[in-house]
Amino acid sequence: MRVFVPSETSESEKRVALIPESVKRLVGLGLEIVVESGAGAASYYLDDDYTAAGARISSDRAGEIAAADMVLRLSKPSMEEATAQKSGSWSVGFLDPFNEGELIGKLAESGVTAVSMEMIPRTTLAQKMDGLSSQANLAGYFAVLKAAERLNRILPMMMTPAGTISPARVFVIGVGVAGLQAIATAKRLGARVDAFDTRPVVEEQVKSLGAKFVKIDLGEVGQTDQGYAKELTEEQKEMQKAGMAKVCAQSDIVITTAKLFGRKAPMIVDERMLSGMKHGSVVVDLAVESGGNVEGSKLDEEVVTSNGVRILGIGKLECGVAAHASQMYSANLYNFIEHFWDAESKTIKSDLSDEILKGCVITQGGSIVHERFAK
């Protein structure tokens, strides 16, 4: 089975789908790996490292895509590349199926088996393949470093002969994978951390990291069977804003990570809340790419409000630590392939009655097979 790893085409994308260590392990399983020349350069994985791991380096992108049995990417393929793959081959990456109906249609038409990494089920068995989590974890870490760098103050308490500096106050809104890592990182840097999530079940996790859970009584909220948040009613949204405004006003850094799977992110920090915040405080909006949690945040721009609050809306924050982000994603892909690898036939078993494949395979055999997208 021949696997091709093309370079990512978006300028802001610094990651690569496979790193040399995973190449070596896949070659050990019996796969043939081809890597586009320079694919790992932005995350400091060099062509020579791939060659040493057993890959072949190629500059013929179009030819390799057409010949590959499987193409591994971070992002979705272009329309042209989606139709250039041969029938029966695999296309794996973050395909954004909720917003990419036309692309999904093209992949189906081409007879490609398309795997959407964001659809890997949130189950114990599939945890090792969960790219959404491995990347969110690093984004949460890097969000704190970005905020600390833009804040004109330090995070830890410092007692010196010249006087005492109080710890910075960090407020994390949304305590999923990214939020938990943001809390842990801010705590490690010495900040005093508050956190809020609409799912009350996370209170214990927040406390176990030494942070304070902000209690806002929203009535019935709940979560989906995959552990995702449900959307709040308009009344609940107003109650949430009122409860959080006070915490925002006393925070130096606010990090928002609130997402609603497959839908636009909720607008949480509005202009009124921003206007109550301290001059020089920093807000990082991790949901900027899916609609934004913060009013006025712009993708990959720093917006300064009239009262001097800096809003950082950085997309794909995990690209700030691209070497490790690639390492984690690459391990997710290795685990996926290894889990379904049939050593005898040297192919991947594609039985859609398997719970993991049923969750993440979107197209196969000429049609859209995922129940959520098949119309």
- Tell how strand 70-72 and strand 2-5 pair up: parallel
Does residue 170 touch ligand NAD according to CB under 6 A?
no
Comparing C-alpha atoms, which of 109, 74, 110 is closest to residue 94?
74
Residue 135: which of 260, 334, 321, 10 has the closest Cα? 321
Strand 163-165 and strand 158-160: the pairing is antiparallel
Active site residue 236: no
Looking at beta carbons only, is 149 or 204 nearer to ligand NAD? 204
With CB atoms as reference, the residue minimizing the distance to ligand NAD is 176
Between CA 212 and CA 223, with CA 217 as vertex, the angle to 5 degrees is 85
Task: Fill in the per-residue mask, 207 to 236: x = in contact with ligand NAD (CB under 6 A), - = not in contact.
Answer: --------------------xxx--x----
Between the CA of residue 252 and those of 213, 214, 328, what are the distances in Å? 17, 16, 31
Least distance in angstroms from the C-beta of 126 to ligand NAD = 6
Which C-beta is closer to ligand NAD: that of 58 or that of 123? Answer: 123
Q: In angstroms, give the least distance from the CB of 67 to ligand NAD.
A: 35
Contact region for ligand NAD (CB under 6 A) — 49-57, 107-115, 127-135, 303-311? Answer: 127-135
Q: Please, which residue, 91 or 257, has the CB nearer to ligand NAD?
A: 257
Amino acid at residue number 129: M
Q: Which of 133, 135, 290, 297 binds ligand NAD (CB under 6 A)?
A: 133
Catalytic residue, chosen from 2, 223, 228, 354, is: 228
Residue 258 binds to ligand NAD (criterion: CB under 6 A): yes
Please tell me the distance from the alpha carbon of residue 197 to that of residue 30, in angstroms, as a whole number. Answer: 45
Binder among 6, 97, 167, 266 for ligand NAD (CB under 6 A): 266
Tell me, yes or no, if 61 is annotated catalytic: no
Toward ligand NAD, which CB reaches closer, 77 or 266? 266
Footprint (CB under 6 A) of ligand NAD, residues 175-204: 175-179, 196-199
**Catalytic status, residue 334:** no
Taking the least distance from each CB to ligand NAD, the nearer of 19 and 356 is 356
> What does the per-residue mask of binding to ligand NAD show for 71-110, with x meaning CB under 6 A?
----------------------------------------
> 85, 116, 130, 141: which is the annotated catalytic residue?
130
| Helix runs in 34-176, H state only | 47-53, 61-67, 79-84, 101-109, 131-150
The question of whether 122 is a catalytic residue gets the answer yes
Contact 314, 104 (CB under 8 A): no
For ligand NAD, the closer CB: 97 or 266? 266
Distance in angstroms (rounded) separating the CA atoms of residues 58 and 257: 39
Shorter beta-carbon distance to ligand NAD: residue 60 or 238 = 238
Shortest separation between residue 241's beta carbon and ligand NAD, angstroms? 10
Of 122, 150, 153, 199, the active-site residue reads 122
Say if CB 171 and CB 247 are below 8 A apart.
yes
Nearest Cα residue to 227 out of 262, 171, 275, 176: 176
Is 133 catalytic? The answer is yes
Among 130, 252, 285, 318, binds ligand NAD (CB under 6 A): 130
Number of C-alpha atoms within 13 angstroms, CB side, residue 302?
A: 12
Instruction: Work out which of 20, 77, 167, 174 binds ligand NAD, going by CB under 6 A.
Output: 174
What are the b/e assignments for 36-62, b being 16+ CB within 10 Å? beebbebbebebebbeebbbeebeebe
Q: Which one of 127, 335, 347, 350 is in contact with ligand NAD (CB under 6 A)?
A: 127
Cite the DSSP H helix spans in the chain.
Answer: 20-29, 47-53, 61-67, 79-84, 101-109, 131-150, 177-188, 203-208, 234-249, 271-275, 322-340, 355-360
Kind of pairing between the strands at 163-165 and 341-342: unpaired
Binding site for ligand NAD (CB under 6 A): 122-124, 127, 130, 132-133, 136, 173-179, 196-199, 227-229, 232, 257-261, 266, 268
Q: Which residues are known to be catalytic? A: 122, 127, 130, 133, 228
